[in-house]
Structure 1
Amino acid sequence: MLLDGVNHVAVVSHDVTRLGEFYARVFDAEVGPTREHGPGETMTVIRIGPRTELNVFVIDGNTEASRQTPMWHRGRLDHLGLGAASQEAFDTIRGRLVESGASDGTVNDFGPVLSIFFRDPDGLEGEVVLPKTDAR
């Protein structure tokens, strides 16, 4: 397989402190620092496994976190981050994404990771992530 699982799930919250405390208390998760991510937007990484995170966004004026509806009516995730199994897998996936028209192939350097964004056939944004510790 080219992937080693889910790297992260991006979610919107109104109170990342409360959310982080919950995941730390219940799951022994590690809550990272909150950083500016854009105008009126912050991101906090909550590590829930050795290679899996929740990327929690707090966005001024965004009300999505308040929308609580029955199952199957909650909308879609913002995006899903998939973990590449290796540098070679990352390169293969990148080529296939470009070939399929799902990505322009731009590789982003986000400090500890490299990533490629794509759109699946349903329009859901995805991201393939490679920790720099696994990169050549």
Structure 2
Amino acid sequence: MPITTGFNHIATITSDLDKIVAFYSDVFDAKSTFEMAAEQGHPRMTILDLGGGAALNVFEASAEDGAVDRRRMGGRGPIDHFGLAVDSLATLEATRDRLREHGADIGEIQRLGSEWSLFFRDPDGMELEVCCHADA
């Protein structure tokens, strides 16, 4: 049986964070649960609660920073990363240990809003995240 409980979030990039937050708030009643100002090496971001334990993590970056114009139907745009959900901090810590055993490039477990988070890179170099609710 898989140790994950499904997807925790999808992260995407936009050139206009306020516009995207307003759209998901107005259309889907999404609620902002965490906001982070831009810092050296990290873009401005907001976490939107989409319900059912799923979130949309939206990062703001200009076209020069790598954001892609996705307005054309059929055009492709970037998904920055996705987050896998686990049931508890203990499972997250065990997952960190398993990633280390498999030689994965990993970060440190950190608190982001109401979530515990661990970033890692898969064998293809794609950055991913494993998360659990902090109250789990």
TM-score (normalised: structure 1): 0.79
Question: What's the Cα RMSD here?
Answer: 2.5
Give 1:47's aligned residue.
49
Question: Are residues 106 and 43 of structure 1, via their aligned partners in 2, closer, same or farther at CA, if it must alter by over 3 Å?
Answer: same
Counterpart of 1:64 (choices 39, 64, 67) is 67
Does the 8 Å contact 1:113/1:131 carry over to 2?
Answer: yes
| Percent identical residues | 34
Deviation of the 1:86 alpha carbon: 2.2
Structure 2 unaligned segments of length 5 or more: list them: none
Deviation of the 1:37 alpha carbon: 3.6
Structure 1 unaligned segments of length 5 or more: list them: none
Give 1:22's aligned residue.
23
Whole-angstrom distance in 2 between the partners of 1:10 and 1:59:
13
Pairwise mapping of residues 1-136 of structure 1 onto structure 2 (< 5 A)? Answer: 1-32=2-33, 34-39=35-40, 41-60=43-62, 61-68=64-71, 71=74, 74=76, 76-104=78-106, 106-134=108-136
Does the 8 Å contact 1:8/1:80 carry over to 2?
Answer: yes
Deviation of the 1:133 alpha carbon: 0.4
Deviation of the 1:43 alpha carbon: 0.5
Deviation of the 1:13 alpha carbon: 0.8
The alignment of Structure 1 onto Structure 2 pairs a total of residues equal to 133
Instruction: For residue 106 of structure 1, give the secondary structure of its aligned residue in structure 2.
Output: coil
Whole-angstrom distance in 1 between the partners of 2:78 and 2:61:
17
Whole-angstrom distance in 2 between the partners of 1:20 and 1:111:
17
Mean Cα deviation higher: 95-104 or 73-82: 73-82
Whole-angstrom distance in 2 between the partners of 1:96 and 1:80:
19
